[in-house]
Amino acid sequence: MLERDSLTVAAAQIAPVWLDRDATVKKVAAWVDKASDAGCQLVAFGEGLVPGYPFWIERTNGALFNSPVQKELYARYVDQAVTIERGHLDLVCESAVANQITVVLGCIERPDDRGESLFASLVVINGRGQIASVHRKLMPTYEEKLAWAPGDGNGLRVHSLGAFTLGALNCWENWMPLARATMYGQGEDLHVAIWPGGSSLTRDITRFIAREGRSFVISAGGLMRRSDITDSVPHHAEIAAASGEFLADGGSCICGPDGNWVVEPVSGEETLVIATIDHARVREERQNFDPAGHYARPDIFELRVNRKRQTTVVVEE
């Protein structure tokens, strides 16, 4: 392995301090430090980790219209969501630059210009501590639609990281062929998929993307235990009573560009899932199939992507 081709990467499989933004941000920053201490240049965290995934919806009759329970829980969610322009992720940015490590972080974003609506956003923070991109999930899945608004294409971007080109998608976006093709077409060869947590989510798709993209794939899953539902959360007793020991059990894993496991899914514990990967393996596997290269046929197929950030007001002076 040539030194210039190698990169040490990690999925940080942790639980949030559920529905507590500031405490979860502090925990994320501490795990960024841990990943750096382990020699990593990249660390990824699960979907919606700050301040947590909306696990209450399926446990408290979330589709009941005009429910006081749902209103109270949503109001708490909005209050604890991340507004990037207000500096809510500054502590993570400081940890990234102090450690010269790239961070991929799932958070629930409340932009200043979109009222009280929330987006499941994937934030890439580079080793200079800069927020390089914010990708708002294109389509919330099933009950997520009761908490999150659909996003846009603005964050469908890739980033250079050593010999690699890094791209990332949220949860079931990874099943969207055109979303994957957008990343491949920008040169992605290191893909990060972030999830609320569970090997049932990560076991098949991680290997599939790796083989299709001839890329390394990191699946970063969150963890959520019944014991993480504290009495500071509205209706905590009802949510806990409807939950098993795990609401999300992780499933973080890493796969090589031939579709074989580098690290198989890890479940049920807070941990760093770490591997040192070699870009030469990408080049080897793309000898016979390259989805954005000699197999792309741009004379036949063309994909157009709108990366304009959605906003409801355009002011012209």
Question: What residues are labeled active site?
Answer: 47, 137, 171
Is residue 31 within 8 A of residue 14, CB to CB? The reply is yes
Place of tokens 């809510």: 88
Q: Is the dihedral of CA 164, 304, 211, 170 positive or negative?
A: positive
User: Taking the CA of residue 139 as centre, how many other CA atoms within 13 Å lie in the half-sphere pointing to its CB?
Assistant: 9
The CA distance from 14 to 270, in Å, is 5
Task: For 236, list phi and psi in degrees, rounded to 5.
Answer: -60, -40
Strands 164-170 and 190-195: parallel
Q: Which amino acid is at 175?
A: W
Helix residue spans in 159-285 (DSSP H): 177-185, 199-213, 236-241, 279-285
Residue 224 tokens, joined:
């959520």
Is residue 131 within 8 A of residue 179, CB to CB? The reply is no
C-alpha triplet 103, 28, 310: angle, nearest 5°: 60
Is residue 18 within 8 A of residue 175, CB to CB? The reply is no
Cα-Cα-Cα-Cα torsion 73, 134, 105, 179, nearest 10 degrees, comes to 100
Place of tokens 């499941």: 120
The CA distance from 175 to 132, in Å, is 24
Is residue 23 within 8 A of residue 15, CB to CB? The reply is no
Smallest Cα–Cα separation from 196: which of 222, 228, 229?
222
Strand partners, 104: 44, 124
